[in-house]
Amino acid sequence: MTAALHAFTQDADDIRPIPHALGVEKSVLSVLLQTPEKLDDAPQLTPKHFHIPAHRFLFERVSSKIVKGESPEFVSFVEELRVAGLLERVGGPAAVVDIWNHAVSDSHFEMHVGILSQNLARRMTIDAADKMRATAFEAESASDILEVTSAPISEIHDLLTGNREERSTKAVVHACLDRFQRRVKNEETAFGIETSLTEFNHRFKGLHPKQTIVVSGYPGGGKTTLAGQFAMDSALSEKNTLICSLEMPEESLMDRMLAYVARRPGDAICDPLKYCKEVLNTQGPTLEMLQAIQLAALKITAAPFAIEDLIGANAYQIGSCIRRSHRKRPLDVVVVDYAQRMRPVPEKIRESREQQLSHASNYLADLSKELGFCLILPSQLNKDGAAKHAEAINEDADLHLQIVQDRDGANPTFDHIGIAVVKDRHHGQDGTLLPIVLDGPMLRFIPKPFKK
């Protein structure tokens, strides 16, 4: 039994143990040792979350290896500790074995990380209260009292609410001035990632870091097509790009990407023999068609582009996937297709679908700000033209684009009219209709053809 287990508060009238959970600490460490990628699900974890000194030390060693891309292997890990003379510091080989085998699964990992955060907040509260008590008797000025009370209370609040440390106003102003000077000297451009849509580039100057773009539309209206087009434009510009597909299998989505890059109709990829017979009047693909598809495949393979099949995933699982990809290479653009396909996270399972999706979109928007990528989030419209179960999704958007179709009248044509700018947080001009429409067979959006 370690000495830390017998740690008590200093107040003689209160001999209760310092808040901590031995089994929970061991469980979290066990999961990280067995499944290192789970660290991406808990970016807030620090050594301070572990009260037991041996556990704190183990977390430092394990997390350091994981961040470097190394997976802890039991025998080599124990040997490393032994060679470094650190094995006894964690209780010897038996203690490492006990921790390694403690968790039979990772199903309670997120909940246990939450318990560690709550216990850390309790320990910080006790420590702050002790300091406040001493200061109340000994402080010589009001500023001494303010110093010992305000800082720890804010830190505890941030820990429990998940708020991150904020920069001072002065630091933010200096950062903005530095960026302004770089642009004046033409060392930096306000233009982001260029897309294949000139009208979009002219209006918004491309795709930008930390930007959340919601693309809404009716079923079959082209949400996935437009999001995929932006993603592939980004990848072909050598920007690290990830598509998290919640509905379409990765092979089907890649078919679309091949058709887009090869500038061929979708049918040419999905049903080549039928396409050749009915459109090209040939019994099979022509040499020119094969060369175009082969060149497209080479371009996609060489591009920093990936598709993750995440059917049935919730926001935390999507976020974990994004973090893993970001650790390999910092992401510039991420598409999560689409919002209404996200499953609820465990703690929101009993809440309304509106609340579940609001939490999910907020979580992903925060993640885009934290990691610095442009998030593109397609969202399905209901029959009344509102976001299905998720009007709050639009509140998280920096830019909300709605694909407009002719759905009025007794016999709607469903023809594409344009893309409406429903919300533009940065430019402050809403209601514009961009002359961009879907070219269905070619699986791409194009400038609206001019009618004579």
Cα–Cα separations (whole angstroms), residue 442 to 255, 259, 263, 305: 12, 7, 7, 21
221 shares its domain with 84 = no
Q: Is 313 helix (H, G, I), strand (E, B) or coil?
A: coil
Cα separation, 218 vs 340, whole angstroms? 12
Global pTM exceeds 0.95: no
pLDDT at 23: 93
Give a yes or no: residue 166 inside a domain.
no
Among 443, 146, 55, 41, smallest CA distance to 269 is for 443
379 shares its domain with 430 = yes
Cα separation, 153 vs 140, whole angstroms? 21
268 shares its domain with 393 = yes
Residue numbers of the domain that contains 65: 3-161
pLDDT along the chain (452 residues), means of 10: 41 72 93 89 88 91 84 83 84 89 90 91 88 82 66 68 58 76 73 92 93 92 95 97 94 94 94 93 92 95 94 89 89 94 87 89 91 94 71 84 78 78 80 91 89 60
CATH number, position 38? 1.10.860.10
202 shares its domain with 126 = no
Cα separation, 246 vs 341, whole angstroms? 6
CATH number, position 419? 3.40.50.300
Number of domains comprising the chain: 2
Residue 91: both structure tokens together: 């209780």
Give a yes or no: residue 184 inside a domain.
no
What does the DSSP assignment read for 376-440?
A: EEEEEB-TTSSBTT-TTHHHH-SEEEEEEE---SSS----EEEEEEEEETTT-----EE-EEEEG
56 shares its domain with 122 = yes
pLDDT at 92: 87
209 shares its domain with 324 = yes
239 shares its domain with 136 = no
Give a yes or no: residue 43 inside a domain.
yes
Give a yes or no: residue 320 inside a domain.
yes
Give a yes or no: residue 349 inside a domain.
yes
225 shares its domain with 106 = no
Cross-strand partners of 241: 305, 333
pLDDT at 98: 92
285 shares its domain with 150 = no
146 shares its domain with 257 = no
Eight-class DSSP state of 250:
H
Give a yes or no: residue 187 inside a domain.
no
Give a yes or no: residue 171 inside a domain.
no
Q: Give the Cβ contact number of residue 45 at 10 Å.
A: 18
pLDDT at 307: 94
Give a yes or no: residue 434 inside a domain.
yes
pLDDT at 179: 74
pLDDT at 138: 82
359 shares its domain with 241 = yes
Q: Are 228 and 243 in contact (CB under 8 A)?
A: yes
pLDDT at 389: 67
Torsion of CA 20, 26, 31, 32, to 10 degrees: 80
118 shares its domain with 247 = no
Instruction: Tell me how far the alpha carbon of residue 12 is from its chain's centroid.
Output: 47
